[in-house]
Chains A and B, each alone.
Chain A
């Protein structure tokens, strides 16, 4: 067993002595994950079918069971990699069985990595909730105008919500327009405007 493995095994042993829920245990586990990841000894099958899924399940398993790890049976890397390989095999078998669950490829035929953001499609027109928000704003205009920044009735909930609805006016344009700091505007928005908007959403059953 090499030095790194011994260190990680010792770290696991120490961490498990701290009670569940304690800060020390969380810090210990964080450190164990860091050390394992930075060792570069985890099986890397980045381009394999559903590797991310299998790897995440392996990490979840590890975090839930690391105190049952027995260094006398195998090194921590063998333990993790075995689990990961079984998960990858399961993923692949699932795929063969139900070909329709196919997940999008990660690389193009020419080997170039595909960025999902490049193929993201926005909806062509505003969603219906936006029109509902505008209606609500018109109905509540009187009340919303009465909630304003201290000594600045012109900076009120009504105008600020309107200006921040998409397509929104940026904070760095609004702040000099009102002659106040961005933080003054955004703090007021965060405290008084946004919660009212979210409450309206809740009342309309938009979660």
Chain B
């Protein structure tokens, strides 16, 4: 499909015009400095950041200038920074060079906490900035302009770093690679789908009639000592549809385990119900040593307005098991693991659940042998 794209010549730099308003901002920032050399540095850094900002906006990649160190008076004064925060992705360093430079100096204070380095050539009159290319990492005092990677690989790189915006799932917006569970596994009832082989049953009860579904719901409450006897009473006289009943229970019960079980039943009988529809699946394909595996993530809003999250790993082929030794790992934002489970032989899925608060970031990692795939999320 991309046939014609590949046939076009590959040139790598894009030129972004610099309007007067940008030069005025650069001048204001430069005049805060009390050393002419530093003033020139701040001027060019500011233009470079604005050029990359414009480029990313043209490509519909949201940035956060206000939260960049280059946009803080102390940041500019106390460090040689040309950083640009990109929403939900990280910080990109935008280093300026003048025309015909062969090398670009990279100050040591920006060697860390960056997801990449973009080099921008500012022309003599400061009327345009040419984005020459990018590097994913830098740990030396300067980089060779001829070693830069293309802007296309910058876009791919940013895409790998982006966070999955789970809050949007609750509002029904998803990235296309996160697919509806039914789409990947087929509709329940289809004999050849993975879901069909496990979905009609819930804890030993076949969910093929309203009575049986009601029975499955009731079963969740036959557990003395859990303090939910009242709900069971409610169940007995409730003359409601199963869906209404589950919705009612989800809105009143805070027992985590029961809530997930209810969600699971609702997924089977009404997968698009607003209360539980924030559930998607990512096809990891054959990335894990040739084993087709899919990662499912589901979110339930809790009564206290925090969120319960379920992550589950499935084999993609019908009636198959996960390869033994697959790990499903939850990581805090700083990369420290908070949960880790491993498949044994004949596991048809593995999963864990946890809670997270609004704006919290975490990662889910799937690994087998020495291959790993990490997905980053924000609530």
A and B co-occur in one complex: yes
**Is A77's beta carbon under 8 Å from chain B?**
no
A120 touching B111, Cβ below 8 Å: no
**Chain A 121-133 against B: per-residue CB contact (8 Å), 1 yes, 0 no?**
1111111011001
Q: Tell me the bound Cα distance from A166 to B109 in angstroms.
A: 14
Cβ-defined partner of B58 (8 Å) among A11, A60, A117: A60
Cβ-defined partner of B108 (8 Å) among A26, A60, A166, A171: A171
Would you list which residues of chain B between 79 and 127 have a CB under 8 Å from chain A?
79, 107-113, 124-127
Nearest CB in chain B: distance from A149 CB, A? 14
Nearest CB in chain B: distance from A113 CB, A? 5
B59 touching A26, Cβ below 8 Å: yes
Additional A-B contacts beyond A7-B8, A182-B108 (20; CB < 8 A): A30-B151, A31-B8, A34-B151, A46-B127, A50-B19, A59-B16, A63-B58, A120-B36, A122-B31, A122-B39, A125-B34, A127-B32, A165-B78, A166-B35, A191-B112, A197-B78, A198-B72, A201-B74, A207-B66, A207-B71
Q: Tell me the bound Cα distance from A128 to B17 in angstroms.
A: 34
B152-160, B225-233, B283-291, B359-367: which lies at the interface: B152-160
**Chain A 89-114 against B: per-residue CB contact (8 Å), 1 yes, 0 no?**
00000000000000100110000011
B36 touching A122, Cβ below 8 Å: yes
Would you list which residues of chain A between 71 and 98 have a CB under 8 Å from chain B?
none
8 contacts between A and B (CB under 8 A): A52-B20, A115-B125, A116-B125, A120-B30, A122-B38, A130-B77, A190-B109, A201-B72
A50 touching B61, Cβ below 8 Å: no
Contacts of A56 in B (CB 8 A): 16-19, 54
**Is A55's beta carbon under 8 Å from chain B?**
yes
**Chain A 159-177 against B: per-residue CB contact (8 Å), 1 yes, 0 no?**
0010011111001100000
Nearest CB in chain A: distance from B221 CB, A? 43
Contacts of A185 in B (CB 8 A): 108
Contacts of B342 in A (CB 8 A): none
Closest 9 CB pairs of A and B: A201-B74, A186-B108, A52-B17, A122-B39, A53-B19, A171-B108, A56-B17, A63-B58, A55-B17
Q: Please tell me the number of chain B residues within 8 Å of chain A, measured between CB atoms.
A: 68
Contacts of B149 in A (CB 8 A): none
B34 touching A14, Cβ below 8 Å: no
Q: Tell me the bound Cα distance from A150 to B6 in angstroms.
A: 51
A166 touching B11, Cβ below 8 Å: no
**Is B171's beta carbon under 8 Å from chain A?**
no
A116 touching B108, Cβ below 8 Å: no
Looking at chain A's contact residues, the main secondary structure is helix
**Is B358's beta carbon under 8 Å from chain A?**
no
**Is B304's beta carbon under 8 Å from chain A?**
no
A127 touching B127, Cβ below 8 Å: no
Size bracket of the A interface: 35 or more
A106 touching B20, Cβ below 8 Å: no
**Chain A 29-44 against B: per-residue CB contact (8 Å), 1 yes, 0 no?**
1110111011000000
Contacts of B58 in A (CB 8 A): 29, 33, 59-60, 63
Residue among B4, B110, B113, B128 with most chain A CB within 10 A: B4
B34 touching A124, Cβ below 8 Å: yes
**Is A179's beta carbon under 8 Å from chain B?**
no
Residue of B nearest to A132 (CB): B74
Q: Tell me the bound Cα distance from A133 to B27 in angstroms.
A: 23
Contacts of B139 in A (CB 8 A): 183
**Is A158's beta carbon under 8 Å from chain B?**
no
Contacts of A167 in B (CB 8 A): 35
A122 touching B30, Cβ below 8 Å: yes
Q: Tell me the bound Cα distance from A194 to B66 in angstroms.
A: 17
**Is B353's beta carbon under 8 Å from chain A?**
no
Q: Tell me the bound Cα distance from A207 to B19 in angstroms.
A: 24
**Is B336's beta carbon under 8 Å from chain A?**
no
**Is B371's beta carbon under 8 Å from chain A?**
no
Contacts of A124 in B (CB 8 A): 34
Contacts of B15 in A (CB 8 A): 37
Residue of B nearest to A164 (CB): B78
Q: Tell me the bound Cα distance from A197 to B18 in angstroms.
A: 31
Asked whether A183 and B43 contact (CB < 8 A) given A120-B30, A166-B77, the answer is no
A120 touching B75, Cβ below 8 Å: no
**Is B345's beta carbon under 8 Å from chain A?**
no
B74 touching A133, Cβ below 8 Å: yes
Cβ-defined partner of B32 (8 Å) among A123, A172, A190: A123
Asked whether A164 and B17 contact (CB < 8 A) given A31-B5, A113-B124, A123-B31, the answer is no
Contacts of B23 in A (CB 8 A): 116
